[in-house]
Amino acid sequence: MNSRMEFANGELVAQARSGNADAFRVLVDRHSRGLFRVAFRMTGNEPDAEDVVQESFLRAYRQLGKFDQRASFGTWLYRITVNCALDLVRSRKRRGEPWAADPGAEDPMQTAASGDPTPERLAFSGEVRERVADALNELSAAERAAFVLRHYEGLPIEDVSRVLGCNPGAAKHSVFRAVQKLRRALEPLVSAAK
């Protein structure tokens, strides 16, 4: 996040704390797309991602008084969103439910490719999506969160560690473990494509 946006966020937070609902609505509009991307990639489907984002903004609104103005508002929101998504993923595991990714669902964050894909390409991309969903299911919740923040959102390790509430070395190690597990899971597809 750039400093100009953080300054604007700070002003909006101050106004929202004073009861200005429009200021909080602007914060929601400004950050909802990024939070949805994270939630979608952690939960694997749109309905759960929408629930996570809604819960995240509800928690943020309730805890606005606890937000430290010296911190990055965007990072704080990411942390709340990751925690909400982790709560959902962990509750599924406790109930014995698999990761709820719909391998056939299109990632709403992907842009459409130019031209019509061939049937072979569609079949291969469907297989890749299914294999990635299965591999993500094998990651621990912390590994999945670290991987999504680093490789999908492009956050630097320092920001990943702040969002996850751990030191940078632990965040880097979680990303490394996730990449290794995904690499092993996808290796058969890479070999078959050669």
123-169 pLDDT, tens per residue? 556 677 777 777 888 888 889 999 999 988 999 999 999 999 999 99
Could you give the CA distance from residue 13 to residue 187 in angstroms, rounded to a whole number? 46
CA–CA dist 183, 185 (Å, integer) = 5
User: Domain containing 14 — which CATH number?
Assistant: 1.10.1740.10
Is the pLDDT confidence value at 193 over 70?
Answer: no
| 31 domain residue, yes or no | yes
| 182/130 same-domain check | yes
Phi, psi of 71 (to 5 degrees): -85, 170
Q: 81 pLDDT exceeds 70?
A: yes
Report how far residue 72's alpha carbon sits from residue 183's, in angstroms, rounded to the nearest whole number.
33
Does residue 5 have a pLDDT over 50?
yes
The verdict on residue 109 lying in a domain is no
Residue with more model confidence, 59 or 112: 59
Q: Which of 74, 101, 128 delimits the end of a domain?
A: 101
95 and 12 in one domain? yes
Last residue of a domain, which of 76, 101, 126? 101
More confident call, 49 vs 120: 49
Regarding whether 161 and 77 lie in a shared domain, the answer is no
Q: Do 28 and 59 fall into the same domain?
A: yes
Tell me the one-letter amino acid at 23.
A
Are 75 and 162 contacting, i.e. CB atoms less than 8 angstroms apart?
Answer: yes
Looking at the fold, whether 82 and 144 belong to one and the same domain comes out as no
Domain assignment present for residue 108? The answer is no
How many Å separate Cα 65 from the centre of its chain? 24
Please check whether residue 71 lies inside any domain of the structure.
yes
pLDDT at 121 over 70: no
Listed range (2-11, 42-51, 75-84) with the worst mean pLDDT: 2-11
What local confidence, expressed as pLDDT, does residue 10 receive?
Answer: 87
Around 29, how many Cα atoms within 13 Å sit in the side-chain half-sphere?
7
Residue 120 in any domain: the answer is yes
Is 110 contained in some domain?
A: no
Domain of residue 128 covers 116-194
Q: Is the whole model's pTM more than 0.85, yes or no?
A: no
Q: Do residues 3 and 92 both lie within one domain? A: yes
pLDDT of residue 127: 73
Q: DSSP characters for 117-129? A: PPHHHHHHHHHHH
Q: Is the dihedral of CA 53, 166, 70, 75 positive or negative?
A: negative
Is 6 in the same domain as 80? yes
Looking at the domain assignment, is residue 111 inside a domain?
no
Domain count within the chain = 2
Q: Which residue has the higher pLDDT, 72 or 194?
A: 72
- Asked if 33 and 72 sit in the same domain, the reply is yes
Q: Which tens digit of pLDDT belongs to each residue from 87-104?
A: 998 887 777 776 555 544
